[in-house]
Amino acid sequence: MSRIAYVNGQYIEHRRAAVHIDDRGYQFADGIYEVVAIVGGRLIDAELHWQRLERSLREMKISAPMSRAALSHVIAEVIRRNGVADGIVYLQITRGVAPRDHVFPKKVRPAVVVTVKRTKPVDPKLVARGVDVISLPDIRWGRCDIKSLSLLPNVMAKQAAKEQGAYEAWLVDQDGNVTEGSSTNAWIVSAKGTLVTRKAGPEILNGVTRLAVLALARAEKMKIEERSFSLKEALKAKEAFITSTTNFVMPVVRIDGKTIGGGKPGPFARKLREHYIAHMATA
């Protein structure tokens, strides 16, 4: 069965799927995206993804290409045509196709791409061992809360992490505080045993997994602080971990080569991962 993508109204073979060279996503990264996990044929936390998608469109002043119901139908159809039960949906909406000009084109229809990919779960050995992160200066723009296509600093950071044998890069702002990972949210368990993650704001993407894990931690009556934490504090933390749609909850055991919490995944990360996996069965 060949892979099928949806591109601007058509379902086509993935290897032939293409957008126009004047697509503003291609020229200006003038668009937004979402990545949603498919588990057992269901979209996980779909409502939160819809809300973030619609917010990103509003903030970018891109009109909705179609109703939520219509877009849901397209996504379900791409999943069905690809026969994927476990994987991810990638949904991208750009401002559209128009002659290159920085100013928004007057009459333009947003361009929509939907693809689906079968994915394997993250290697359980990695989860059991925990991963390394490196720290890098956060050189991104001031609206990281928008899930825009403009990911060059994130791409550069992830590549640097990979080249240094690390799994992720934590980005550090000018005050020495961790904002988030290149494609994940960053968490610590402070020396006092409080779960800490940065408050949602323009400096970070408010991860859907972040929101779900916060709700699970609240239900577990864990002590939580949504606040900034410095790299220095992270280095002294009892635990560290990252969250995202593809990683769920992933323990971090080294930051810049320095061991965190004895170099082993801790109980908070383990528990929250278990709760998150259970949550996915009903989300």
- Tell me which residues are annotated as active site: 147
Provide, rounded to whole angstroms, the least separation between the CB of residue 147 and ligand PMP: 7
How many residues of this chain interact with ligand PMP, rule: CB under 6 A?
14
List CB contacts of 146: < 8 A, sequence separation 6 or more: 32, 55, 56, 59, 60
Question: How many CA atoms within 13 Å lie on the side-chain side of 130?
Answer: 23
> Coil, helix or strand for 80?
helix
With contacts defined by CB under 6 A, name the span among 14-22, 85-93, 103-111, 181-189 that binds ligand PMP. Answer: 181-189
With contacts defined by CB under 6 A, name the span among 91-99, 178-186, 189-197, 220-228 that binds ligand PMP. Answer: 178-186
208 binds ligand PMP per the rule CB under 6 A: yes
* Residue number of the CB atom closest to ligand PMP: 207
Q: What are phi and psi of 25, to 5 degrees?
A: -70, -40
92 binds ligand PMP per the rule CB under 6 A: no
Provide, rounded to whole angstroms, the least separation between the CB of residue 103 and ligand PMP: 28
205 binds ligand PMP per the rule CB under 6 A: yes
CA angle, corner 207, sides to 203 and 212, nearest 5?
135
180 binds ligand PMP per the rule CB under 6 A: yes
Of positions 98, 245, 273, 275, contacts ligand PMP by CB under 6 A: 245
Query: Which stretch of DSSP H or E encloses residue 216?
Result: helix 208-219
> Coil, helix or strand for 252?
strand
> Coil, helix or strand for 64?
coil
Q: How far apart are CA 21 and CA 23, in angstroms?
A: 6
Of positions 24, 158, 198, 210, contacts ligand PMP by CB under 6 A: 210
Q: How far apart are CA 273 and CA 44, in angstroms?
A: 15
Of positions 184, 190, 197, 228, contacts ligand PMP by CB under 6 A: 184
Q: Which of residues 145-174 bind ligand PMP (CB under 6 A)?
A: 154
With contacts defined by CB under 6 A, name the span among 23-31, 70-78, 92-100, 243-251 that binds ligand PMP. Answer: 243-251
Query: Which stretch of DSSP H or E encloses residue 234?
Result: helix 231-235
Q: Which of residues 27-56 bind ligand PMP (CB under 6 A)?
A: 35
CB of 22 within 8 A of CB of 92? no
Distance (Å) of CA 99 to CA 9, 104, 238: 21, 10, 53
88 binds ligand PMP per the rule CB under 6 A: no
Q: Of 92 and 244, which has the nearer Cβ to ligand PMP?
A: 244
Q: How far apart are CA 113 and CA 5, in angstroms?
A: 7
Q: Of 6 and 170, which has the nearer Cβ to ligand PMP?
A: 170
Q: Interface residues with ligand PMP (CB under 6 A)?
A: 35, 154, 180, 183-185, 205, 207-210, 243-245
